[in-house]
Every structure is written in C-alpha cells, then in structure tokens.
Structure 1
Amino acid sequence: MNRYVALVIAIVSEVFGTNMLKMSDGFTNLLPSMGVIAGFGLSFYFLSISLKTLPLSIAYGIWSGVGTAITAMIGVFVWGDPFNMLIAIGLILIIGGVVLLNAPQKQKVASKMI
C-alpha cells in the first residue's frame, strides 16, 4: 500500500473517531462510542503502516496537523464552534508547519578548515 494512501486513511479515520467522540456524549451513546474505538483503531493501524516508510516526524506531523485542521473546520461548520481571526491564524500556522515538515531539507556538509 502506498505510504501516503495509508496516511490519508489514518487521517480520515482519526477525524471520524474524533467526531464520534463528540457524538458519544461522554461514552453514554453506544453506536458513537463504538465509532470512536473503530475510528481510532483504524487510524493508529494505518498510521503504523505509513511509518514503515515515512519518517516519524513527517508522518506524525501530517497526521496530527491535518487532522487538527480538518477537525477544527468540522467543529465550526457542523458543531457550531466559534471561529475568529486567532483561530484562522492558528490553522494557517498548523498548515504552514506541515508544509515546512515536508519541504526538502538540505544537509549541511561540514568543511574542514585548514
């Protein structure tokens, strides 16, 4: 399986599990509670698949950052969570951090001084 496909499935599963957590009402509703377990179980499984070939810092950064951003937007549009300029800036910074984690890194070569 492609490492990024596994990572996308992990993100979607995590977002699903988080929204089921909201719907579970403190684990008092059975079906959403089962959705939490299924969502996070699948999420961690597919995250572990992506970690076979992706560095931890990149995979976890993408998983947590993109998952947080999507969950925040679902919170605004579905759950009526507040949205203001500070939240928008925070989401932009999260997305920027994910982009920077994926930017090609140049390795510095130590030169000998004679």
Structure 2
Amino acid sequence: MFVQPMWSDEVERIGFRRCTPLGYALHGIGGLLGFIGLLSLFASLAYAAYRGIAGTFDTSLLWMPVAGLGFGVVGGSLTALARSLAKRKSYRYDYASRMSCWREGGAERTYSFDDWQAERQR
C-alpha cells in the first residue's frame, strides 16, 4: 500500500511516460504520497510510544496513524489510476526484448532499448 512498484528498466519508465504523460505524473505523485504516508505512520506511532513512556498518553493519539494510512490509500489509488490510464492504451512492457508498446490513435507505438541508446548518444 505504501511503497508502489517502480520501474524495472529505464525503457519501461520512458515508454510509460510517452504512453500517458498524465498517468506518469499521477504515478509519481502516488509514490510520493505513499512514502509520506509511511513516514507519517512511523512518526505517529513513535510519538504515541514516546507519550506512553512519558506518562502523558491519551487515546486521542490513536487517530494520528489514520492520517498515514490515508496517505497510503490515496497514493495507492493514484498509482492504480495511472496504471489504468496506461491500460486503456494497451500499454505493455516486454522484459525479454526491453520494449514498451502501446496503441495511440489506432497505430502501435513502441519505445525500445535501441531508441534509448540512440537518445543517449546525442
């Protein structure tokens, strides 16, 4: 829920970005929100433990981790939305050939490892 899957290859990431720029942005925002949620969950639990040790614990502190969980849920939802936007264009990544493929305007578009190397040479 908190940590979203990352790219296995740079070609997959760039292909996803070219397929759906909005989905790519949503994927990045979702990953950031998930990370913030994980940090806030740990911080709120540590703070509640500190207050328990200090003898000033109150049951209202148990609501603090809900914010971290909420960030995790929203981040996961944004990532799922990004993946669904790419799926609408039939995006797929072939790990063996290191090629991203999708359909755009009825035509098949691709981005391969050779394309990536050619861009790096420029």
TM-score (norm 2): 0.38
Relative contact order higher in (CA < 8 Å, ≥ 6 apart): 2
* TM-score normalised by length of structure 1: 0.40
